[in-house]
Amino acid sequence: MDDQLVVDVDDLPYEICRRAHPRVEVDWKGCIYSNRDSTICWVTNIGLTGARIRAPHPLRRMAGPVLSIDEIGHFPCQIVWADGREYGVAFLEPPEQLHRYLGRILPR
């Protein structure tokens, strides 16, 4: 159980817990990986500050995870919550930089 992801929302900074930018429902295949582990995932919603992903099995702790979305890009992130096999990730790059990749699919 030590290697399972455990996130206590009370320990998260306020700005990570609140969405600063709207999300869009999507159904994209992707992969979440680090330098020693990777797993396929599905992105179910996304915005300029983060995304919700679903994995086929519980994720193990990852140092420096990156969310790779097919034909979109690679996004360094932090896993900020977990609920079963669903996870919330916060992107580490500024929203202005992510807009280059995601701006065409997000609402104005």
| 21-102 is classed CATH 1.10.150.120 | no
Structure tokens at 45: 């919603």
Domains of the chain: which residue ranges? 21-102
Helices within the chain (DSSP H only):
14-17, 95-102
Reply yes or no on whether the pLDDT at 9 is more than 90: no
pLDDT in tens, 45-89: 999 999 999 999 888 888 899 999 988 899 999 999 999 999 999
pTM listed for this prediction:
0.77
pLDDT band at 20 (very low <50, low <70, confident <90, very high): low
3-state secondary structure of 26: strand
